[in-house]
Amino acid sequence: MRAAVVGALLLAALAVASAARVPDGDLMDIKDTISDTASFQRWLGLARKGKGDKPAYAAFKYYVQPQHKEDFVEAWRKMEESTKEEKGLKIYDLKKPMTDNLLWVGYGEWETMRDYLEHFESDYVQEFLDTLAEHDVPWSITPLYKPDVAELHSSNKGKTDKQQAHVLIRYTVPPSKQEAFKDAWNEAEKGTEGEKGAHIYSLRKVLGDNMHFIAYGTWETMQDYEEHFKSGHVKQLRKALDEHDIIWQLSPLTKVGDQPE
């Protein structure tokens, strides 16, 4: 099981810098961990291009059920303490996005691809992966590259802080928790009614099952929505969601057309 995991990690790691080079003796060891022959041939072609000294950048996503949050954070911090001592490490951290209570995002930079591979071959990373497996935590690695300044400016062209904010929030609520969920939501709704810029804030029950609710909200500006998200009544709602193991996922929306809100 662990061998398969290491193989998958190494494939993803090698893609980060687009190529890598390792000693020939190590190639056979890695080949034994990879069952997909086509994947190995692709890996081998990249490895022979001799770019193991290129920088490595990677993002990591972890989808952690609320009840496993403490174990996950403890395992990450233990791994992080050992990672800080690695040769070639530049950045290694973990963040919690504010758009749901499932996703955690890690980010790392290493001076070379070789340094990155050594990180993933370490015992402390394997111990962390064992914890993820124990709690059924899905995870992924996203190889990254460093864009030039012109590319960054181009991607942000035309964006404005004055645009309206539209969000859709999905809640997965066990039937036994639904009364507590609706009580917590109603309190948050009362607090939202007097907010600056709030146009719509409503909750609906999905008819096709007994677990899912959908909320929709619109604010005059993104700043108004940010104030809503940081408000005391929304913090209390999120606290209640965590206490009752209720999963939530927020999706920002873009308005199409000019219909009034």
Tens of pLDDT along 60-71? Answer: 889 999 999 999
The rounded distance, in Å, linking the Cα atoms of 94 and 60 is: 9
Query: Which residues does residue 217 pair with via DSSP β-bridges, in sequence order?
Result: 167, 201
The rounded distance, in Å, linking the Cα atoms of 257 and 161 is: 19
Look at the block and give the residue holding tokens 């460093």.
Answer: 146
The tens digit of pLDDT for each residue in 97-108 reads 878 889 999 988
In degrees and rounded to multiples of 5, residue 198 shows phi and psi of -75, 125
* Structural domain spans, the chain: 1-21+30-145, 152-255
Query: Is residue 159's pLDDT more than 60?
Result: no
Between 57-61, 192-196, 252-256, the lowest mean confidence (pLDDT) is in 252-256
The letter for the amino acid at 207 is L
Task: Please check whether the two domains, 1-21+30-145 and 152-255, share a CATH topology.
Answer: yes
The letter for the amino acid at 212 is H
Position with higher pLDDT, 258 vs 33: 258
Q: Is 217 exposed, middle or buried (0-12, 13-18, 19+ CB in 10 A)?
A: buried
Q: Interhelix angle for 37-47 vs 2-16, to 10°?
A: 40
Position with higher pLDDT, 257 vs 149: 257
The rounded distance, in Å, linking the Cα atoms of 101 and 87 is: 33
Position with higher pLDDT, 166 vs 258: 166
Q: pLDDT category, 20, cuts 50, 70, 90?
A: very low
Strands 198-205 and 247-253: unpaired
Q: pLDDT category, 6, cuts 50, 70, 90?
A: very low
What is the CATH T-level fold of the domain 152-255, as seen in this structure?
A: Alpha-Beta Plaits (3.30.70)
% pLDDT > 70, the chain: 70
CATH number of this structure's domain 1-21+30-145, picked from the four choices 3.30.70.100, 3.40.1190.20, 3.30.565.10, 3.40.50.2300: 3.30.70.100
114-140 residues labelled b (16+ CB within 10 A) or e (exposed): bbbbebbeeebbeebbebbeeeebeee
Q: Tell me, what's the pLDDT at 248?
A: 92
Longest dimension (CA), the chain: 68
> How big is the chain, counted in residues?
261
Q: pLDDT category, 57, cuts 50, 70, 90?
A: confident
Question: Mean of the per-residue pLDDT values for the chain?
Answer: 77
Q: Tell me, what's the pLDDT at 8?
A: 43
Q: Tell me, what's the pLDDT at 47?
A: 37
